Amino acid sequence: MRRHLFAPELDEFRAVVRAFVETEVEPDYSSWVDAGRPPGWFWRRAGEIGILGIGVPKEYGGLDASTFVHSVVVTEEIQRRFLALGGVRVHTDICMPYLLEYATDEQKDRWLPRLASGGAVVALGLSEPGAGSDLKAMSTRAVRDGDHYVVDGAKTFISNGAAADLVILAVKTDPSAGRRGISLLVVESDTPGFERGRKLAKLGLQAQDLAELSFTGMRVPAENLLGAENRGFEYLTANLAQERLSIAVNSQAAARAALGAAVERTAGGEVGQSAKFALATAAVDVDAGQALIDQAVRDLVDGELGPSDAAAVKLYATELQSRTVGICLDVVGPTAFRAADPLGQAYLDGRVSRVYGGSSEIMKVIVAKSLGL
């Protein structure tokens, strides 16, 4: 089944990504944890080998004939080494589709080559101190003033926020219209009035950039409007299926990596029957999750992944990650209950997967609605 998903030509791409992760990223990774984000060279090298150009047309410097399946390869290879580099998925799986789908030709010429090469990093500015999942409650305002929008407000929990050169920013252009008054502006981080706040301390994902952003009298050229004014909510919801599948792929890969590590660390030793049964159950669970993930990836590439299916796969994979890592910690024992241990860190890193992109409870609501409940 996996061979059907991964065509033979992807083997070469996987080998390149694996070599990059093992020989360039992993040896330097501890310094990224201390800094709270990857260094600039990482983004440039990722661009050089094609990771940041997935899905981007070749004329803009993208990886030729690449699809979301290439992103799956990247995620699996990163998680295989227990690394927290979700900012890559934010760049490629979450932000890039907005530019590919809604940017004008002139905007694509300006932004896509920089992003595909790693010359620029992109973030998505949605969450606010007083508005998380409820986008219609956002308070960041953009008021048209001639050929500019004047933006005031703040965002928080922004992945890639500290490193971002571009931010796809959700703003209220018609406060009286609720979700129908939201627009998307692409903001250059050197725009006067753009400020970065404190680096946010997190339970896990220590090498993943997360920041606060604020905007005071920030004048953004009207030509940076992405798509049509007041259609931002429509654009945001249109990409939710891929965003949630991206999270699910990461959780599935994390579960498989944890299971492999636990089996390796217990092999050859005295393993009780209950531990054997626990790992056997986890192995079947992980294989079931893989089948669900692979089908969803095929559906996405074919343009057939619906909102309820994406919600179901995110719900299953993120809960699977939690169950599997918990079992692996129990089986390996006290040595794994440390943040410095790969399994201990996997436990900390994985908790947020059941929250961002829509919590497990929200996923259940979506699935229940699809059942007519």
Q: What pLDDT, on the 0 to 100 scale, is given for residue 218? A: 98
Q: What pLDDT shows up at residue 316?
A: 98
182/291 same-domain check: no
Whether 234 is covered by a domain: the verdict is no
Instruction: For residue 138, give the 3-state DSSP assignment.
Output: coil
Mean pLDDT, all residues of the chain: 94
Q: Which of 181, 204, 228 is the last residue of a domain?
A: 228
Q: Among 54-68, 111-125, 198-212, where is mean pLDDT lowest?
A: 198-212
> What contacts 24+ positions apart, CB below 8 Å, involve 362-365?
362/133, 362/311, 363/244, 363/311, 363/312, 363/314, 363/315, 364/315
The predicted structure's pLDDT at residue 136: 77
Same structural domain for residues 78 and 115?
Answer: yes
Our CA dihedral for 326, 330, 334, 337, rounded to 10 degrees, sits at 0
CATH number for the domain that contains residue 6: 1.10.540.10
Mean pLDDT of 227-251: 96
151: domain CATH number is 2.40.110.10
Answer yes or no: is pLDDT of 134 > 90.
no
Marked catalytic residue, from 76, 128, 212, 243? 243
Residue 75 lies in a domain: yes
Same domain, 170 and 262: no
User: What residues contact 320, with CB distance under 8 A and at least 6 apart?
Assistant: 251, 252, 255, 285, 286, 289
User: What contacts 252, CB < 8 A, 6 or more positions away?
Assistant: 286, 289, 290, 293, 317, 320, 321
271 pLDDT higher than 90: no
Position 373 pLDDT exceeds 70: yes
- Model confidence band, residue 135 (pLDDT cutoffs 50, 70, 90): confident
Please report whether residue 48 resides in a domain.
yes
Query: 331 and 215, same structural domain?
Result: no
pLDDT class for 5, splitting at 50, 70, 90?
confident
Q: What is the pLDDT of residue 1?
A: 47
**Residue 76 belongs to what domain range?**
2-121
Q: Judge whether residue 279 has pLDDT over 60.
A: yes
Among 93, 121, 149, residue at a domain's last position: 121
Span 59-66, average pLDDT: 96
Whether residue 233 lies inside any domain: the answer is: no
Angle at 318 between CA 315 and CA 322, to 5 degrees: 130
Q: Is residue 115 part of a domain?
A: yes
Residue 366 and residue 244 share a domain? yes
Say whether both 243 and 344 belong to one domain.
Answer: yes
* CATH number of the domain where residue 366 is located: 1.20.140.10
Instruction: Name the residue among 74, 336, 36 with its Cα closest to residue 201.
Output: 36
Are 28 and 114 contained in the same domain? yes
Looking at the structure, tell me whether residues 363 and 250 fall in a common domain.
yes
| Model confidence, pTM | 0.94
Question: Does 39 have pLDDT greater than 90?
Answer: yes
pLDDT of residue 132: 66
Report yes or no on 244 lying in a domain: yes
- Among the listed residues 232, 235, 194, 190, the one whose alpha carbon sits nearest the alpha carbon of residue 211: 194
Q: What percent of the chain has pLDDT over 70?
A: 98
364 and 244 in a common domain: yes
In a domain, 290, yes or no: yes
* Same domain, yes or no: 350 and 280: yes
Phi, psi (rounded to 5 degrees) for 230: 70, 15
Decide if 264 is catalytic.
Answer: no
Query: Per the domain annotation, does 243 fall within a domain?
Result: yes
Across the range 339-350, mean pLDDT stands at 93
Query: First-to-last CA distance in the chain?
Result: 33
Distance CA 195, CA 213 (A): 6
4 pLDDT above the threshold of 80: no
pLDDT score of 7: 79
Structural domain count of the chain: 3
pLDDT at 133 over 80: no
What is the distance between the alpha carbons of residues 224 and 189, in angstroms, rounded to a whole number?
Answer: 13
pLDDT band at 248 (very low <50, low <70, confident <90, very high): very high
Q: Where does a domain end: 91, 121, 151?
A: 121
Task: Name residues whose C-beta falls within 8 Å of residue 18's C-beta, 6 or more positions apart in sequence.
Answer: 77, 80
Identify whether residues 141 and 218 lie together within a single domain. yes
Q: What is the mean pLDDT of residues 287-311?
A: 96
* Together in a domain, 137 and 114: no
Asked if 113 and 76 touch (Cβ cutoff 8 Å), the reply is: no
Whether 3 shows a pLDDT value over 60: the answer reads no
- pLDDT per position as a tens digit, 26-36: 999 999 999 99
- Per the DSSP assignment, residues forming a β-bridge with 199 are 211
